[in-house]
Structure 1
Amino acid sequence: MVKVMSDYQLKDREKAILRFVIHQFILTANPVGSRNISKKYNIGLSPATIRNIMADLEELGYLDHPHTSAGRVPTDKGYRVYVDSLMEPPYLDRKTKEVIDANLNAHPSYETDDLLKITTSILSNLTDQLAMVTYPKIEQAKLERIQIVRLSSTRILVVVTIQSGLIRTITLELDAEIEEENIETVQLFLNERLSGLKFSEIRSTIAERIKDIDETKYKPIVRVFLDSVDRIFTDISSDKVVVKGAKNILKQPEFADHEQFQSVIELIENKDIIIHVLDKKRQTQKDDLVISIGKENQDEKLSEYSMITKEYKIGDLEGTVGIMGPKRMNYSKIIAAVVYIANQLTEELTKQR
């Protein structure tokens, strides 16, 4: 979890008022006034005292004061303190967990691809935010085996199984006809020379490793492997992310504003922004749960959003599960949902191996 360290020390009364303001703002999406806090929460303070404390919190940078309203709204700094120390501990009730488990277990034969898409839908429906799941990066994964299936006299299907359990398939066109028995021989030879190597190693050394095969007899298959090595053994999953939940996130009152509406549509259509931010988080954050609020996202297009992400694993490979939505969100519930779903996804993918 990202934490902002600074030299402030909020008093207990300031913490309580900040917590109540954020609670109310999350519930109503409207600026919160001192009279509202006084009526809603029995804290033994007059509206005037509460108003003074809110003014102090604004001066310290935890609250802001919209020009058109007498109430206050949280700033990025206010949300950060709330998430780090003031909100209720993340909790997901048993019934919600059962619904998640039932959906993930509905079809045990799901391919990895399908499971990631279903996970994204579950997370978006549960949180009413934009949900995303990145595919695992396989650049440093090790090859377990290659299978070659003859589709026709000039077409083959290459099935690449990675040691983590992931499977990739690529169809290749040959420039000459091939016999079934030649395919089996080349498959055996390739597995002897390449199994156990990282994709990056295979790309840089394949020509040397298979140079002594009888190229006259097996030339069409060997040639297509050499010509297609970047396609077969490149981390094509690095630019893949499933993003779902446009209908859910657009229900939020923040998107009644046309400009905000357009911004979220742009994010959904241009997934590169999301991928770039998630990759940066992976590289810079040691914790597998990361919460970034507003300008902490370091991309101007995301300055009005919060992102909550957690890693899931398939063997030694990692992907990311997460949500993105307005900064005004139920952090406790959503953090719990992201963590639980990421852990359950890891469990489901482990079963498939």
Structure 2
Amino acid sequence: MEKQLTDRSKQVLKLVIEEYIAAARPVGSEVLREKYKLAVSSATLRAEMAELERQGYLEHRHTSGGRVPSESGYRLFVENLMNRMGLSNADMRRVEHQFHQVEGNPDLTRWAELAASVLAQLARNAALVTIPRSDAKTLKQVQLVHINDRSALTVVVMNDGSVRQSVCLLPYASSQEELNSVSAALNAAFVGYVPLEMAVRAHGLNGIAAEVAPQVLGVVSRSGMSGTVSQSGLISMLAQPEFHQSDAARPLMEILEGGALVNELADRIVNRSGVHVIIGSENPLQEMALCSIVTASYTAQGGSYGLLTVVGPTRMQYERTISSVYYVSRLLSSMLHDNNESIRHAESRRFDDTAD
């Protein structure tokens, strides 16, 4: 539960975080008072910052230095304190102009490469964009097989005959007979649908079926991605002071280049809309503990989907990054839909001309 903070404490925390994001240096009371013309004494600011540290929102890494945000501080900032500003009109016009350059191109790889490049430029960090499969798969059958009281093997069969398996954690002890009923409920809700449609239909489930549906959706979602990832902005990200040491950068690079991150993210966001922010130790992979991730899905033809993801240090520009991911995901989905319609109409006209 969020600890109660006074309005002044929230203002101080917001300023500390914004200053640390901008300068990458621990923030002291004198810096805040002088730079932001605060009408309080340095002693009052030190007391406020000490209380924010006591409550877990700030950290004091060196006795003589200033303070830096903790993960809890960043989380409160993202959810309640940061400015809710979209991209500027100039940024939006520039992004739209760049995407118009690939209109009429049916190659999703080209769209993903452009999206990664645009996101990296906007967020000034690393951007990863997965490429949806052009042939979106639908679910043919799902079966939960009892392993022990709190886990089951999830066996997913897609309409093309491909099979995926994963261990599913159960909310409470369940027998195989109960799992058969859960499987029946999942099949009734999901068979014949693509992942994004399944995510909507999952809201009608209840009991164990509702609890395990996100895990089933995660298994299904990975069959809808090609596994190909377009990347951009890695150099910008590694130029951040957090990654100057090679022992911090090397495992992160391996994760970003290996594809493990996007698989983990697919499990997390397949049944959730909007932009998602994952901070520090909230990350699904231990190697990402120094990073924050901002991610959202976009849709392509046939209900298939891909992921747009920005990766950077926890000291990232959250307002701009969230706005960028949101805008590009919406624009990309809209333009891919329009692009597919235009291509279909062109093909139809060409067929009609040939028939004549």
Q: Same fold (TM over 0.5)?
A: yes
Distance 1:81 1:341, change over 3 A: same
**Structure 1 residue 22 corresponds to structure 2 residue 17:** yes
Deviations 1:115-161 (A, max 9, x none): 1111111111221111011223655349xxxxxxxxxxxxxxxxxxx
The corresponding residue for 1:212 is none
**Structure 1 residue 339 corresponds to structure 2 residue 326:** yes
Distance 1:290 1:236, change over 3 A: closer
Q: In structure 1, what is the Cα distance between the partners aligned to 2:251 and 2:160?
A: 42
Deviations 1:176-219 (A, max 9, x none): xxxxxxxxxxxxxxxxxxxxxxx923428xxxxxxxxxxxxxxx
The corresponding residue for 2:132 is 136
Given that 1:304 and 1:326 are in contact with CA atoms closer than 8 Å, whether structure 2 keeps it comes out as yes
Given that 2:294 and 2:310 are in contact with CA atoms closer than 8 Å, whether structure 1 keeps it comes out as yes
Q: Point out where structure 2 has 5 or more consecutive residues left out of the alignment.
A: 140-156, 163-221, 341-356
Q: Provide the TM-score with structure 2 as the length reference.
A: 0.69
The corresponding residue for 1:320 is 307
Work out which of the two has the higher radius of gyration on C-alpha atoms and give 1 or 2: 1
Q: In structure 2, what is the Cα distance between the partners aligned to 1:101 and 1:328?
A: 28
The corresponding residue for 1:35 is 30
Q: In structure 2, what is the Cα distance between the partners aligned to 1:134 and 1:118?
A: 12
Distance 1:68 1:260, change over 3 A: farther
Q: In structure 1, what is the Cα distance between the partners aligned to 2:326 and 2:285?
A: 24
Distance 1:258 1:351, change over 3 A: same
Q: In structure 1, what is the Cα distance between the partners aligned to 2:246 and 2:307?
A: 30
Per-residue deviation, 1:236: 7.4
Question: Taking every aligned residue pair, what percent have the same amino acid on both sides?
Answer: 30
**Structure 1 residue 288 corresponds to structure 2 residue 285:** no
Given that 1:139 and 1:200 are in contact with CA atoms closer than 8 Å, whether structure 2 keeps it comes out as no
The corresponding residue for 2:259 is 271
The corresponding residue for 2:218 is none
Distance 1:83 1:63, change over 3 A: same
The corresponding residue for 1:67 is 62
Given that 1:314 and 1:350 are in contact with CA atoms closer than 8 Å, whether structure 2 keeps it comes out as yes
- Within the candidate set 338, 350, 354, 1:351 is matched to 338
Q: Point out where structure 1 has 5 or more consecutive residues left out of the alignment.
A: 1-5, 143-198, 205-233
Per-residue deviation, 1:261: 2.6
The corresponding residue for 1:160 is none
**Structure 1 residue 301 corresponds to structure 2 residue 287:** yes
Q: In structure 2, what is the Cα distance between the partners aligned to 1:108 and 1:65?
A: 51
Q: Secondary structure at the match of 1:95?
A: helix
The corresponding residue for 1:81 is 76
The residue type paired with residue 301 of structure 1 is E
The corresponding residue for 1:52 is 47
The corresponding residue for 1:146 is none
Q: In structure 2, what is the Cα distance between the partners aligned to 1:94 and 1:21?
A: 28
- Within the candidate set 290, 294, 311, 2:297 is matched to 311
Q: Secondary structure at the match of 2:66?
A: coil
The corresponding residue for 1:240 is 228
The residue type paired with residue 299 of structure 1 is L
**Structure 1 residue 106 corresponds to structure 2 residue 105:** no
The residue type paired with residue 259 of structure 1 is D
The corresponding residue for 1:203 is 161
The corresponding residue for 1:258 is 246
Q: In structure 2, what is the Cα distance between the partners aligned to 1:124 and 1:101?
A: 15
Q: Secondary structure at the match of 2:65?
A: coil
Deviations 1:237-294 (A, max 9, x none): 343322221112122222222322323322333222x1232122225x6233111111
Q: In structure 1, what is the Cα distance between the partners aligned to 2:273 and 2:331?
A: 18
Given that 2:12 and 2:49 are in contact with CA atoms closer than 8 Å, whether structure 1 keeps it comes out as yes
**RMSD of aligned alpha carbons:** 2.5
The residue type paired with residue 120 of structure 2 is S
Distance 1:307 1:262, change over 3 A: same
Q: Secondary structure at the match of 1:239?
A: strand
Per-residue deviation, 1:98: 1.1
Q: In structure 2, what is the Cα distance between the partners aligned to 1:7 and 1:256?
A: 34
Q: Provide the TM-score with structure 1 as the length reference.
A: 0.69
Q: Secondary structure at the match of 1:321?
A: strand
The residue type paired with residue 263 of structure 1 is P
Q: Secondary structure at the match of 1:131?
A: strand
Given that 1:277 and 1:297 are in contact with CA atoms closer than 8 Å, whether structure 2 keeps it comes out as no
Given that 2:280 and 2:289 are in contact with CA atoms closer than 8 Å, whether structure 1 keeps it comes out as yes
The residue type paired with residue 161 of structure 2 is R
The residue type paired with residue 306 of structure 1 is S
Q: In structure 2, what is the Cα distance between the partners aligned to 1:8 and 1:68?
A: 25
The corresponding residue for 1:329 is 316
